């Protein structure tokens, strides 16, 4: 059974990546941790939810189609209230 804290953080990482491509350095600054109980980046990589690509000599991190499917599956769309 997956750790719900790590699962929630992985979903946060994936949602963050849906906003735009991120440089590897930016991702590492935001998501790398030395805590063995919070392997968010490592688990997302191991599960094929993110990928690194070389673009114009720079390493870019992107969400994969598998990661995007997980985001769509796990996020709940809250209906807008009238007038908002």
The domain ranges of the chain are 4-74
Lowest mean pLDDT among 48-57, 60-69, 71-80: 71-80
In CATH, 4-74 is 3.40.50.700: no
Pick the more confident residue, 33 or 50. Answer: 50
Give the predicted TM-score (pTM) of the model: 0.79
% the chain with pLDDT above 70: 86
What's the half-sphere exposure (Cβ side, CA atoms, 13 Å) at 65?
0
Q: Match 């063995």 to its residue by tokens.
A: 36
Give 4-31 pLDDT, tens digit per residue.
888 999 999 999 999 998 999 999 888 8
């Amino acid at each position: 059974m997956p750790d719900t804290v790590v699962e929630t953080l992985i979903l946060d990482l994936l949602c963050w990546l849906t906003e735009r491509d991120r440089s590897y350095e930016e991702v590492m600054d935001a998501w790398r941790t030395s805590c063995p109980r919070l392997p968010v980046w490592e688990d997302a990589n191991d599960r094929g939810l993110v990928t690194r690509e070389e673009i114009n000599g720079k390493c870019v991190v992107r969400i994969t189609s598998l990661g995007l499917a997980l985001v769509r599956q796990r996020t709940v769309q809250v209906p807008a209230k009238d007038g908002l």
